[in-house]
Structure 1
């Protein structure tokens, strides 16, 4: 595999004539997109991940890359580099996936080298949350910013940190694991087994589970009528004005998020804190009280130039992030 100094990525404006490939294995989908230097997707292809193992994913991702190239009007895969956003922990320096929560065979799997070998182009691998963070910094809600915190609120709570235009990795590549910030000394248990972590309050499954638990103790609450349908955080935030029980749980969630973000702002002094993922679909019912909590808890001097906003790239964030990472290699 081509030597890739991942830690030198910078959010720089690439040339519009650049052509790169973004690949994403995230959210239960496989996706390939050919894009130009402005992040505009010229051609793409996708399919469900289903129950494919690592070798099956490699085969299908290669086929999707060629299909995306054809749809972009390229006679062959004439791109300068490829980026991969992977839904699981990775070693970005060695181009290895550590494991996948969805697919077998990704333990210490040299995905970047194998894609590079099959496609013949320099390839870089990144965790999907960090890729999304980089995408938002280059093409999304934080474009133009050099120091950015990105939180992804979905089945878990992940994120990415960019300082002086560079992704931050830390000593063991775990920088940006924002879901494991401690927000209380007790509280519910996180997926990692430790109590009081942000993920146990702010991931979508955690929010829904805590609402259901609270409604069991409040049989006369109007929120009981939601139990007949599918629950999402968006529905909960919309209904909260009618349900004191749901409102209390969501207020607690927003407070914990505000505490975590205030601590990150004091530590990193960012220009932007960007919130993405399914929980962010709650819209202003979430954003406005969250901004108020951040103002309440954060160090005033650090608040002067920071804005807290929603992500702009939506479900495209991982693949656009992979594009941005590939462009950073050109």
Structure 2
């Protein structure tokens, strides 16, 4: 397996003059970004994923890559490597996607080889959450840390784990599937069909569904004012003080997440736990209660050096991570 090492990347950083291409298929978007050896974005191109199948995505990525390169005044001959962040499980060793929850045709699909053949540039493929973890460790909130847990709270709950500077994959490439940590015996079903997983509590769809269910029990709750219109999850935290239903669901979500984080800290003794994704955009209103709950549940000796923080790269994390992976390849 190609080994992506934060420690090695820091020891031999690529030159600023080098150019790499980051591609991302995540969050309903296709993105192409050209960056230099410092991870600074020079140009980008993006479009909606729409209803494309695997080959449709492959062809659109090619066009976006060429468009981003053209905007930067470059061609594929100027690029040292390509990194791809994919929103679904992958086999990084073979450079293939396992499947996509959004698009058909990605079963055992050789995406890295196809991009490498078409662009003529060495290409690496990674799951978007693991790519984001690597990006945060190299360019984001976990800079300088060698053991990092990254948790992404969005349409699902994903993550990535870096131990001693190395991305962790596990026996079947599923290390970092933090959304499937069991936080209660029983409880709602996860998207995988198993009960009590973190994703059934802390993903954006799960949180919305639980808010609606709680509000349905109290027609007078002020939180109905929020859910009568389309709303972003970070807005929920503005209603915690006035809506008992929203307050209770948020408190339970924070507790479930804290239980998972406490277990991860006790197991891996990380320097940093980084929280990214839509829910994390709530800032201190989300982070401070979470830090308090984690302190409540975690083995004290493991807390001495760990820092729990919000991600810095925002929605760019997967593609920035793809850039970091490409630079590590260089």
Query: What is the TM-score when the length of structure 1 is the normalising length?
Result: 0.96
CA distance in 2, matches of 1:125, 1:33: 15
What CA deviation, in whole Å up to 9, does each residue of 1:62-92 have, x standing for no partner? 1111111122222554111110000111111
Give ranges in structure 1 of 5+ residues lacking alignment: none
Partner residue, 1:320: 320
Partner residue, 2:221: 221
CA distance in 2, matches of 1:269, 1:9: 18
- Give, in angstroms, the shift of residue 7 of structure 1: 3.2
Partner residue, 1:42: 42
Where has structure 1 moved over 6 Å in runs of 4 or more?
none
What CA deviation, in whole Å up to 9, does each residue of 1:146-179 have, x standing for no partner? 0000000001100000011110000000000000
Q: Map of 1:125-274 to 2, 5 A cutoff?
A: 125-274=125-274
CA distance in 2, matches of 1:97, 1:76: 23
CA distance in 1, matches of 2:110, 2:323: 20
Contact 2:32 2:45 in 1 (8 A): yes
Partner residue, 1:69: 69
The range that moved more, 35-44 or 168-177, is: 35-44
CA distance in 2, matches of 1:242, 1:314: 28
1:242 aligned counterpart, secondary structure: coil
CA distance in 1, matches of 2:113, 2:266: 39
Matched, 1:308 2:304: no
- Give, in angstroms, the shift of residue 231 of structure 1: 3.2
Contact 2:31 2:47 in 1 (8 A): yes
Partner residue, 2:58: 58
CA distance in 2, matches of 1:9, 1:94: 18
Cα pair distance change 1:29/1:123, threshold 3 Å: same
- Give, in angstroms, the shift of residue 8 of structure 1: 4.5
Give ranges in structure 2 of 5+ residues lacking alignment: none
1:62 aligned counterpart, secondary structure: helix
Contact 2:76 2:119 in 1 (8 A): no
1:31 aligned counterpart, secondary structure: strand
Contact 2:21 2:323 in 1 (8 A): yes
CA distance in 1, matches of 2:304, 2:247: 30
What CA deviation, in whole Å up to 9, does each residue of 1:16-53 have, x standing for no partner? 22211100011111111111111101111111111111
CA distance in 2, matches of 1:96, 1:307: 34
CA distance in 2, matches of 1:185, 1:268: 23
Partner residue, 2:120: 120
1:286 aligned counterpart, secondary structure: helix
Matched, 1:280 2:276: no
Contact 1:155 1:204 in 2 (8 A): yes
Count of aligned positions: 326
Residue 6 (structure 2) aligned to one of 4, 10, 13: 10
